[in-house]
Amino acid sequence: MNRIEHIAFAVSSLKDSIPLFEKLLGTPCYKTEEVATEKVNTAFFKTGESKIELLEGTDPSSVIAAFVNKKGEGMHHIAFGVDDIEAEVKRLKEAGFVFINEDPRPGADNKRVCFLHPKSTNGVLIELCQEISNP
């Protein structure tokens, strides 16, 4: 892991939350994107060398909608950037960490992603992100 890629917040409404975070961070939202496979809409903000991601569930059965219904809006996960996601998954599995999904899948913002289970990371959901190379 070589940097904090982003910190993600689960929100009820991007429409309401984007202006709040633009005011809070003093910077505009630079990108919104739907990740249909995860039933989520995302919004991104740059802050220094990291990003803030807002997540809004698009279906009541989505993980984000369930999170907001159970815990309310708030921090959802911290994502770390990696150069080789497969090697990092192997290293962390050998170190005893448990994954929610150890096979990287397409995520938002041109990334391949996988998640470590919070039970093995002191209750914090951790995402690993690798930039997808453009040919």
- Interval 20-36: pLDDT, tens: 999 999 999 999 999 99
Report which residue type is found at 36.
A
Q: Given the DSSP bridges, would you call strands 31-35 and 40-47 parallel, antiparallel or unpaired?
A: antiparallel
Contacts of 17 (CB under 8 A, 6+ apart): 9, 11, 43, 54, 56, 73
Find the distance separating the first CA and the last CA of the chain, reported in whole Å.
24
The burial class, CB within 10 Å (0-12 / 13-18 / 19+), for 123 is: exposed
Contacts of 117 (CB under 8 A, 6+ apart): 97, 98, 99, 100, 125
Percent of the chain with pLDDT over 90: 88
Q: Minimum mean pLDDT among 6-15, 92-101, 125-134: which range?
A: 125-134
Q: Is the pTM of this model over 0.85?
A: yes
As a whole number, mean pLDDT of residues 67-96 equals 95
